[in-house]
Chains A and B, each alone.
Chain A
């Protein structure tokens, strides 16, 4: 059951009035309060944040003290010292579970302390025996061992630490600076699936809570960072654009399920559109620099081609059904993976510039749709996004041109005036619409 704190605040505010008016008895009001639980307050949030910070400081402090490497102690003493915080945190975790402590702050604090203690135990034992492998070995072991903590303590902060360790592992294992084309980085996907159920559970439980929002941003950033490592793992270089667009489209479709559409609270819905836009922009000029290359962008000879195609089909079908159920916007953004696939397919043909042509036409069409529907329905963010996409496209084209400074200057001024002018015009129209008694005016 999703717990919307704004709705809950409104409901709790209404209850005394409803009881006074005799609409519901006091008993029902109490039952409702018991059912939905305590209303989150600012004080609760401060307490949770302080608990998280405190646990991080204690855990980090213990790790640093032990990392000092105490020469005077024997190996066995240092081993016992390394394991002591882990024992303490396990005892704390057991106490929380046994007493079924529901306080979020305490659960988060124990979750963090337990996670940091696990890292601490593994790393210090490795230090004592001059062993334990590379940093990526340590991160992987610590990640796998600390995943259950998020579930047991219901700790979002612990989940975020696990996510950070996973991203760090992916970058360390990849070692792209050595040109190491390792498939190992693709294990990021099954490893991510280990913590994904916890995130989904948090979103189902309370999609608008601060922890759910942070987890959504964490996942969005983690996926955005690590996907850039996939291409060198035996993917054709520009196939990564398809993977990115597929992932962002999937996240966008997930974002449609969240009733809160604001940018900060729903990164899946909004930041994913930015991601798709950036990928499409790159595709509009990517072909130009590779047109003389004999290397194909995608090739049916490779298995990654078929995996990419399968992903495109799955996400396109999902977009089709989402478009019918939720919003027509899903049709538009959901067409991006298929369009990108076609662009790269054309780019790999005997006429590679057809790929570039399609990329440009698609981007202009997308930008135009956003501007037109945004202005018509007075959705200012959509309108601005469409204009920004269009302006970015013009600027990208402009980098390739040899126009004079005067012409470039005039173009800049023109684009600036359009951006500000359209915004002022639409704001005024929206204000008029909002002020109208029926809530909207005739177009």
Chain B
């Protein structure tokens, strides 16, 4: 009986340690070897009961205009992949949405996709998608400051807003939010300056 218990214990301990470590290794791999994209942002600061305060991010690139209507019927519970490219300013945008997993590394699996409602009907080419990397966890005291800084920039209509973005590393199926920038500098440095 004790042997069974010890075996069960060893398996449990192994899986419990392996689960977070597996994430650490694959996320580190993406951060080191993934392609970097800059996504323009619009932050607010909610809190997660387990993971603390974070800056909730929405991205300009989540509003997608497709070159042609999406084929293949309903989008309901269908996995969708956003092909990412860079515009002339170096910011990421969604080039196209596809239903099959692409062979390239520059794509993100979207966690939600809705057609834009226009003129009383849903558009066939305009969509709103949700990216899975929508949280930037911050120190509990600094997250509200980041939110306030962003809001005040927005009120003044400053160009700084246009220079607020998040860098995201993408490799394979995984996309990791690397850093959040306000007015072109990392958010922690921006807050230190203030």
Is B20 a contact of A133 with CB atoms below 8 Å? Answer: no
Residues on B with beta carbons closer than 8 Å to the beta carbon of A359: none
Q: Which of B78-86, B95-103, B133-141 contacts A (4 or more CB under 8 A)?
A: B133-141
Is A71 a contact of B188 with CB atoms below 8 Å? Answer: yes
0/1 string, B136-155, CB within 8 A of A gives 1:
11111010000000000000
* Alpha-carbon distance A296/B139, docked complex (angstroms): 53
Does A323 lie at the interface of the complex (its beta carbon under 8 Å from any beta carbon of B)? Answer: no
Is B9 a contact of A152 with CB atoms below 8 Å? Answer: yes
Residues on B with beta carbons closer than 8 Å to the beta carbon of A124: 51
Nearest B residue to A96, CB-CB: B9
* Alpha-carbon distance A79/B28, docked complex (angstroms): 11
Is A135 a contact of B176 with CB atoms below 8 Å? Answer: no
Is A83 a contact of B20 with CB atoms below 8 Å? Answer: yes
Known: A94-B9, A152-B8. A121 touches B20 (CB 8 A): yes
Is B17 a contact of A83 with CB atoms below 8 Å? Answer: yes
Nearest B residue to A125, CB-CB: B20
From B23, B49, B138, contact of A126 by CB (8 A)? B23
Known: A122-B20, A129-B24. A63 touches B50 (CB 8 A): yes
* Alpha-carbon distance A100/B8, docked complex (angstroms): 15
Interface size class of B (residues with CB under 8 A): 35 or more
Residues on B with beta carbons closer than 8 Å to the beta carbon of A125: 20, 23-24
* Alpha-carbon distance A133/B28, docked complex (angstroms): 16
Is A68 a contact of B140 with CB atoms below 8 Å? Answer: yes
Is B51 a contact of A123 with CB atoms below 8 Å? Answer: yes
Is B177 a contact of A130 with CB atoms below 8 Å? Answer: yes
0/1 string, B11-44, CB within 8 A of A gives 1:
1110111011101100110010000000000000
**Which A residues from 112 to 168 make CB contacts under 8 A with B?**
118-119, 121-133, 135, 138, 141, 145, 148-149, 151-152
* Alpha-carbon distance A39/B140, docked complex (angstroms): 49
Residues on A with beta carbons closer than 8 Å to the beta carbon of B135: 130
Does B69 lie at the interface of the complex (its beta carbon under 8 Å from any beta carbon of A)? Answer: no
0/1 string, B82-118, CB within 8 A of A gives 1:
0000000000000000000000000000000000000
Is B139 a contact of A71 with CB atoms below 8 Å? Answer: yes
* Alpha-carbon distance A67/B27, docked complex (angstroms): 19
Is B51 a contact of A132 with CB atoms below 8 Å? Answer: yes
* Alpha-carbon distance A127/B49, docked complex (angstroms): 12
* Alpha-carbon distance A93/B176, docked complex (angstroms): 34
Is B23 a contact of A97 with CB atoms below 8 Å? Answer: no
* Alpha-carbon distance A87/B14, docked complex (angstroms): 11
Does A90 lie at the interface of the complex (its beta carbon under 8 Å from any beta carbon of B)? Answer: yes
* Alpha-carbon distance A347/B2, docked complex (angstroms): 57
Residues on A with beta carbons closer than 8 Å to the beta carbon of B54: 127, 130
Is B12 a contact of A148 with CB atoms below 8 Å? Answer: yes
Residues on A with beta carbons closer than 8 Å to the beta carbon of B52: 67-69, 127
Residues on A with beta carbons closer than 8 Å to the beta carbon of B140: 67-69
CB distance from A173 to the nearest CB of B (A): 13
Nearest B residue to A141, CB-CB: B19
Is B6 a contact of A97 with CB atoms below 8 Å? Answer: yes
CB distance from A21 to the nearest CB of B (A): 39
CB distance from B80 to the nearest CB of A (A): 17
Nearest B residue to A83, CB-CB: B20
CB distance from A88 to the nearest CB of B (A): 12
From A119, A145, A152, contact of B50 by CB (8 A)? A119
Residues on A with beta carbons closer than 8 Å to the beta carbon of B136: 130
Is B2 a contact of A100 with CB atoms below 8 Å? Answer: yes
Is A135 a contact of B23 with CB atoms below 8 Å? Answer: no
CB distance from A94 to the nearest CB of B (A): 6
CB distance from B43 to the nearest CB of A (A): 13
Is A130 a contact of B20 with CB atoms below 8 Å? Answer: no
Nearest B residue to A118, CB-CB: B16
0/1 string, B120-141, CB within 8 A of A gives 1:
0000000000001101111110
Known: A67-B140, A68-B139. A121 touches B16 (CB 8 A): yes
CB distance from B69 to the nearest CB of A (A): 25
Is A86 a contact of B16 with CB atoms below 8 Å? Answer: yes
Is B53 a contact of A69 with CB atoms below 8 Å? Answer: yes
Does A82 lie at the interface of the complex (its beta carbon under 8 Å from any beta carbon of B)? Answer: yes
**Which A residues from 171 to 227 make CB contacts under 8 A with B?**
none
Does B48 lie at the interface of the complex (its beta carbon under 8 Å from any beta carbon of A)? Answer: yes
Is B50 a contact of A131 with CB atoms below 8 Å? Answer: no
Is B176 a contact of A130 with CB atoms below 8 Å? Answer: yes
Most chain-A Cβ atoms within 10 A of its Cβ — which of B16, B132, B137? B16
From A97, A118, A133, contact of B132 by CB (8 A)? A133
Is B23 a contact of A71 with CB atoms below 8 Å? Answer: no
CB distance from B57 to the nearest CB of A (A): 9
Does A396 lie at the interface of the complex (its beta carbon under 8 Å from any beta carbon of B)? Answer: no
**Which A residues from 76 to 104 make CB contacts under 8 A with B?**
79, 82-83, 86-87, 90, 93-94, 97-98, 100
* Alpha-carbon distance A129/B27, docked complex (angstroms): 7
* Alpha-carbon distance A75/B169, docked complex (angstroms): 16
Is A86 a contact of B139 with CB atoms below 8 Å? Answer: no
Nearest A residue to B174, CB-CB: A131
CB distance from B47 to the nearest CB of A (A): 9
Residues on B with beta carbons closer than 8 Å to the beta carbon of A70: 139
CB distance from B143 to the nearest CB of A (A): 8
Known: A68-B140, A129-B27. A122 touches B19 (CB 8 A): yes
In the A-B complex, the 4 residue pairs with the smallest Cβ-Cβ separation, listed nearest first, are: A67-B52, A123-B50, A130-B177, A148-B12
Q: A130-B135, A131-B177, A135-B49 are in contact. List 9 more A-B contacts (CB 8 A).
A: A69-B138, A79-B24, A86-B17, A119-B50, A126-B51, A127-B51, A127-B54, A129-B31, A145-B16
> What are 20 contact pairs spanning A and B, CB under 8 A?
A67-B140, A75-B28, A79-B24, A82-B20, A86-B17, A93-B13, A97-B5, A98-B6, A122-B19, A123-B51, A125-B20, A127-B52, A127-B54, A129-B27, A130-B133, A130-B177, A132-B51, A135-B50, A138-B51, A152-B9
